[in-house]
Amino acid sequence: MTETSSRLLALLSLLQARRDWPGTELAERLGVSGRTIRRDIERLRGLGYPVESLTGPAGCYRLRAGTAMPPLLLDDDEAIAIAVGLRTAARTSVSGIEETAVRALVKLEQVLPAHLSRRVAALGAATIASPVAGPTVEPRHLTVIAAACRDSECLRFAYRSRDGAQTQRLVEPHSLVNLGRRWYLVAWDRQREDWRTFRLDRLERPAGAGTRFSPRQLPGRDAAAYMAQRMAEAPNRFEARLTLHAAAETIARRVPSHLGTIRPIDEQRCEYRTGDDDLGWLALRIVMLGVDFTVHGPPELAEHLRALSARLQRGAG
Amino acid sequence: MTETSSRLLALLSLLQARRDWPGTELAERLGVSGRTIRRDIERLRGLGYPVESLTGPAGCYRLRAGTAMPPLLLDDDEAIAIAVGLRTAARTSVSGIEETAVRALVKLEQVLPAHLSRRVAALGAATIASPVAGPTVEPRHLTVIAAACRDSECLRFAYRSRDGAQTQRLVEPHSLVNLGRRWYLVAWDRQREDWRTFRLDRLERPAGAGTRFSPRQLPGRDAAAYMAQRMAEAPNRFEARLTLHAAAETIARRVPSHLGTIRPIDEQRCEYRTGDDDLGWLALRIVMLGVDFTVHGPPELAEHLRALSARLQRGAG
DNA sequence: ATCATTTAGGTCAGGATCTGTCCTCAACTT
DNA sequence: AAGTTGAGGACAGATCCTGACCTAAATGAT
C-alpha cells in the first residue's frame, strides 16, 4: 500500500502549499478519481488533520490548524530557510529557545539532502560576523555535539583551556547549555573520570567517536542548574554598574532579563547592572540603549567608552 | 489503510527523533511484528527515504540524508523553535532568504495548533526591540499579507502615506519584497486602478477581504526588479560617504553587499558608501565596524556621531 | 574461531482494504 | 431556481497487508 501512503503524503503536501484546493484539481494532480480524493480527505481527518471543506461553486478543501502538528512537507528553499532560521535562533541568545532550536536543527540536518546542506553552508559563510561579538561557535560544532548528546555517542575533540594549553578529550556528552551569550557542553570526561564543562568556542574538531555509552546521572537538578552553579563560581570578567537617565520600564522593555538587572532609582533614572567577558560587546549594549547614562565601574569600561567616544569624535571631524 | 499510513508516519517520526533504532524496539513501539517493521522499512526506501541498516549485534536502522526532503515530524517545542527562527530570519535582513523564510512561515502557521501559536506570540512579545532600529514590522502582518499573495486573495488595510494621511486600501497583492532593512508590498490598487508599492511598517490592520482575484501581469521582469526600480527613484534619506582606516577585504567580510559598497583606496584604507533613512541605525552600523573612520557626509551623520560621542564622553565621566 | 544476535527476505493463507462506478443528498452561489 | 461542489452509501473485483515460519548473511563478543 505504498501507493496510498505516498498519495496521502502528496495530498498533505498540496494542502500545505496553497490554501484552497477544489476536489477535481486534487483528483487530476494525484491521478485518481474524485471519490478516492473524498476518501483520502476522510482518511486525513481520521488521522487528526482538520480539513475544512466548502460546498457550492468555488467550493474547496482547506487544511486548518488542528490540535497536533501535521508532518511538514517542505520544498528545497523552505528547508534552507528553516535551517538558516534555526541557526540564527540558536546563535542570537535572546529568544530563550536556543537549546530547542539546536535540537530541531539536528533533526533537520540529519535528513537534509546534501545539495541543500551545501547551500546552507554557503549562506552561512556569507553571514557577517560582528567584530565586537567575540569568538563565535560554528553551527557545525553545535549540531555535531547536540547529535552526540541525543544519541549517547562518545565525543572526541581538542580543547584549548583558559591558559591556552591544548588537550585532546574523550567524553560522554550529557547536554548542551546556552548561558549568557555562550554555549557550554556538560560532559563526563573519560580520562579524568569526572564531570567537566567545556566552552564551545574553545573547542575544535568535535567528532563522534563511534562508541555508545549508557547515560550517567548528573549531580544537581539538571544540566542548566549544574552549569549555572559552575558559572556562579566563575563570573564574568567585567561587571558593569551604571545609572541610566530613563524610566526603568522603558529600559526593561529593551533588555532581556538574563542580560542584566534593572532597578528604578526615581521617575527618570534607574540602575543597570550587567556583566560580560568582552568590553566591546558590553559597550555596544550600552550604546544600543539609546539613552544618556553614567558609568560607575569598572574603570576598564569607562576607558573603553572614552576610546570609542574619541574614535567617533575623530571620525565625525 | 489509514492504519498502515499512520504507522509509516509514526515510523518516520521515530527515525527522526533518534539516530539508531533496533528493529525489535520499533516493533514494540508500533505494536506490530518484526516482519512488518522490515516491510515498512522497505516501503520507506521505496518512497525514496534512505534508511541505513547495520547487521550483527548492536545492529539498527538509521535514517540518512537522501536526495529529497522527507516530511518533517516535529514535536511542539521544535515547531515553536522553527516559527521563532523563521521570524528572526525574516526580520534580520542579512541572510538574503527573507522572502523564503516568510513563505515557510506562512506554511507553518497555517497548520500550527492554536496553543503553540499562543506560545510563539508570547515569545515574540518578549523579544527586545532596539530603539535605533526604527519602525518594525509585525510578524503577523507579514504572514497575513504573504498568505494573501500566495492564495490570490484581495487584501484590505489602512495606509499612512509619507505625509501622514490615512487612507483605506483594497488591493490585489502580488508579492512581498524585502529590500534594505524594509518590507514592501507590491500590489494592484483596485480603487486607483494601477500598481502601487506599500511599506509594511506604514500599514495597519491588514486582513484578507475574502474575495479571490486572477493574477495580473506585473510590468517589469519580476517584483524585486520592479521594486528596485521604484526604490531607485526614491533613494534613502541619508547617503553616507566615509573613509575606513582598514583594508577593504577586512571590511567586505563584515558588510553584507546590499548594505553598501566598499572600494579600496590603498592597503590600509577603503571607501564605504551606504544609505539609510534612519541616522541612528546608520551610525550604529558604523560603530559596529570597529575600525577608525572619517565621515565625508552628510553633515547630519557627522552631527549625530558627535552627539553620540558626547553622550559616551559624559557617560564615561 | 565460535556463537549469539540482528537484519534480509522468500513463501503462504486468510482477511482486510482499496478503487472506480453509480447514485442520491445537502449546501451554497449566482 | 438552477447549477456546481462536497458527502457518502453500496457493490464488485482486484490488490494488498499481516503474521507465522524459515533460511541466509553479516558482525561483534567471548
Collapsing DSSP states into helix, strand and coil, what is residue B267?
Answer: coil
CA of A1 to C1' of C18 (A): 9
What is the average pLDDT across A208-232?
80
Q: Taking 80 as the threshold, does the pLDDT of residue B300 lie above it?
A: yes
From A268's Cα to the closest Cα of chain B, the distance in A is 16
Q: Taking 70 as the threshold, does the pLDDT of residue B258 lie above it?
A: no
Q: Taking 70 as the threshold, does the pLDDT of residue B176 lie above it?
A: yes
Q: Does the CB of B37 fall within 7 Å of any strand C atom?
A: no
CB contact under 8 A, B131 and A88: no
Q: What angle do CA A131, A135, A139 make, to 5 degrees?
A: 110
CB contact under 8 A, B317 and A303: no
Q: Does the CB of B57 fall within 7 Å of any strand C atom?
A: yes
- Residue B157: what pLDDT? 94
Find the residue in A nearest to B96 (Cα). Answer: A123
Q: Percent of chain A scored above 70 by pLDDT? A: 90
A114 chain-B contacts, CB cut-off 8 A: 65, 67
Residue-by-residue DSSP string for chain A: -HHHHHHHHHHHHHHHH-S-B-HHHHHHHHTS-HHHHHHHHHHHHHTT--EEEE-STT-EEEEPP-SSPPPB---HHHHHHHHHHHHHHHHH--SS-HHHHHHHHHHHHHH--HHHHHHHHHHHHHS---GGG-S---HHHHHHHHHHHHHTEEEEEEEE-TTS-EEEEEEEEEEEEEETTEEEEEEEETTTTEEEEEEGGGEEEEEEEEEE-PPPPPSSS-HHHHHHHHHHHS--SEEEEEEESS-HHHHHTTS-GGG-EEEEEETTEEEEEEEES-HHHHHHHHHHH-S-EEEEE-HHHHHHHHHHHHHHHHHH-
CB contact under 8 A, B47 and A306: no
Q: What is the pLDDT of residues B93-128, one digit of tens each?
A: 555 678 888 999 999 998 999 999 888 887 765 554
CB A134 within 8 A of CB A278: yes
For residue A57, what are the CA distances in angstroms to A23, A52, B151? Answer: 12, 15, 17
Q: Does the CB of B140 fall within 7 Å of any strand D atom?
A: no
- Residue A126: what pLDDT? 54
- Residue A129: what pLDDT? 47
Q: Does the CB of A124 fall within 7 Å of any strand D atom?
A: no
Which position has the higher pLDDT, A223 or B173? B173
Does B52 lie at the interface with A, CB-CB under 8 angstroms? no
| Cell output for A60 | 474547496
Q: Does the CB of B23 fall within 7 Å of any strand C atom?
A: yes
Across the interface, of B58, B96, B115, the residue whose CB is closest to A123 is: B96
For the whole prediction, is pTM greater than 0.75? yes
What is the average pLDDT across B198-209?
89
Nearest residue to C18 via alpha carbon and C1':
B1
A211-216 long-range contacts (CB < 8 A, ≥24 apart) are A211/A153, A211/A154, A212/A151, A212/A152, A212/A153, A212/A154, A212/B58, A213/A152, A213/A153, A213/A154, A213/A172, A214/A152, A215/A152, A215/A172, A215/A174, A216/A172, A216/A174, A216/A188
Q: What is the pLDDT of residues B51-67, one digit of tens each?
A: 989 888 788 899 999 88
From B97's Cα to the closest Cα of chain A, the distance in A is 6
What is the average pLDDT across A274-286?
81
Confidence label for B205 from pLDDT (cuts 50, 70 and 90): very high
For B241-254, b where at least 16 C-beta lie within 10 A, e where not — what string?
Answer: ebbbbbebebbbeb
